[in-house]
Amino acid sequence: MPWIRLLRENGYKVYAVVASGAWNDLIEAGGAEYVEWKLSRSGRNPLAELGSVLGLTRILRRIKPDIVQNFHTKPNIYAPMAAKLAGVPVTVSTVTGLGYTFVERSGLGSKLGRRMNLGMYSFSNRLASEVAFQNPDDMDLLKANNGLSSTKGKMIPGGSGVDVSEYKPNTRNSPEALEIRRSLGIAPDVFVALFVGRLQLDKGLVEFVEAARQIKSRRKDIVFVMVGAPDPGNKRSVSEATLAQWKSEGDVVFTGRREDVPNLMAIANTVTAPTFYREGLPRTLLEAAASGLPLIGTDMPGVREAINDGVNGILIRTRDSSALAVAVEELADHPAKAERYGQASLARAINEFDHRRVIGEYLKMYEQLWDQRQAAIIQ
């Protein structure tokens, strides 16, 4: 947990308030105090949601933090309310992507969902001391639709950052990488296009599988590998039945959930993000850049913050499997270009995406907000 480690190195005592015990060991190993918060990720029962806000309020009153930092949609909406009720001096919300709700779609339900979310963002963002963004598109959308005041909004490039030292650029031919390829049934000289992430359909899974199918029908020197598992609590997760069908067709190598992402990046020739979901800045692309890989992704908010088209990767249209297949073949057939893009990705990871630089920006923001708060009290 680099965030926890670096905050502690800078003199902060850290509490990690999370909605389940899944990260308990990692949090405590990083030196933070783990606090469980009862929060349903997808629940919509008004009484239960109010209970989540009041539960967080009780937690904050007990631990008495000076600063509350929130990530993700529900915490960004609920935590500023709870922090205000608990008397917390400074609250920062980080928008890590606006998600599927804000993807332009027709239909009354979609419009009502966007309007309702905008209303909640508007209310909570007024309570927050500052709202940080990982891409300018999300900030512009909220400001244009009264979801954020003109006096707030801070762009912090680099997403959540990545520990560049954990990744292994230029090690595709190492014994370790070759052994992973062998274990997956992939020959040493085959070009690997990799997808890593939760298996949500709005991350472009259908397009990834269809691109693999198109390429497999005409050549055998390119393999598509998908790393991840279904997300049962998410209604946009791929179903077990669909996943079983894809596996039976044999167009994609499926690894399931893996924890050794740096090792898997080391076997890849490119990493793809065919998403049509509004992400902040996809972590997969940060990890791929730190691995010195050329990137392929859709021209979507967040993705285009990681990919400079024609410099460190290729941007493609959303929901276009043929465009994805063409981009993969472009890199496979032009190794010098792929190498050039990969080196440009690595340079961006070192200079822009490194977690120490990103967290340093947050630390400066915390200090400024704290000083402003103290000055306001003195006045």
What are φ and ψ of residue 324, in 5° steps? -65, -45
Asked if residue 28 has pLDDT above 90, the reply is no
Query: Do residues 276 and 300 make contact, with C-beta atoms less than 8 angstroms apart?
Result: yes
Q: Which of 211, 294, 292 is nearest to 246 (CA)?
A: 211
- When pLDDT is cut at 50, 70 and 90, the band that residue 19 belongs to is confident
| Paired residues of 93 in beta bridges | 70, 131
- Same domain, yes or no: 120 and 192: no
- Same domain, yes or no: 266 and 256: yes
Asked if residue 289 has pLDDT above 80, the reply is yes
Query: Do residues 40 and 25 make contact, with C-beta atoms less than 8 angstroms apart?
Result: no
Distance in angstroms (rounded) separating the CA atoms of residues 367 and 42: 34
| Paired residues of 354 in beta bridges | 162
User: Please, which residues have CB within 8 angstroms of residue 50's CB and are 6 or more apart in sequence?
Assistant: none
- Same domain, yes or no: 149 and 168: no
Domain membership of residue 13 (yes or no) is no
Here the CATH number for the domain that contains residue 61 is 3.40.50.2000
What are φ and ψ of residue 69, in 5° steps? -115, 120
- Same domain, yes or no: 196 and 101: no
Asked if residue 106 has pLDDT above 60, the reply is no
Provide the pairing of β-strand 130-133 with 191-196.
unpaired
Q: How is the beta sheet containing 222-227 ordered, strand by strand?
A: 252-256, 222-227, 191-196, 270-273, 295-298, 313-316
- When pLDDT is cut at 50, 70 and 90, the band that residue 27 belongs to is confident
- Same domain, yes or no: 84 and 117: yes
- Same domain, yes or no: 328 and 186: yes
Other residues' Cβ atoms within 10 Å of the Cβ of residue 54: 14
Say which range, 38-52, 108-122, 185-199, 277-291, has the weakest mean pLDDT: 108-122
Asked if residue 109 has pLDDT above 60, the reply is no
- When pLDDT is cut at 50, 70 and 90, the band that residue 375 belongs to is confident
- When pLDDT is cut at 50, 70 and 90, the band that residue 81 belongs to is very high
The model's pTM is 0.91
Cβ density class 222-248: b for 16+ within 10 Å, e for less: bbbbbbbbbeeebeebbeeebbeebee
Residue located via tokens 């065919």? 274
Residue range 295-334, pLDDT digits in tens? 999 999 999 999 999 999 999 999 999 999 999 999 999 9
- Same domain, yes or no: 211 and 334: yes
- Same domain, yes or no: 252 and 154: no
Q: Can you state the angle between helices 321-333 and 335-348, rounded to 10 degrees?
A: 100
- Same domain, yes or no: 45 and 127: yes
Asked if residue 137 has pLDDT above 60, the reply is yes
Distance in angstroms (rounded) separating the CA atoms of residues 295 and 25: 32
* pLDDT top residue among 244 and 26: 244
Stretch 81-95: mean pLDDT: 96
- Domain carrying residue 180: 164-353
Query: For all residues of the chain together, what is the average pLDDT?
Result: 92
Domain membership of residue 109 (yes or no) is yes
Domain membership of residue 8 (yes or no) is no
- Same domain, yes or no: 172 and 315: yes
What is the predicted pLDDT for the residue at 257?
93
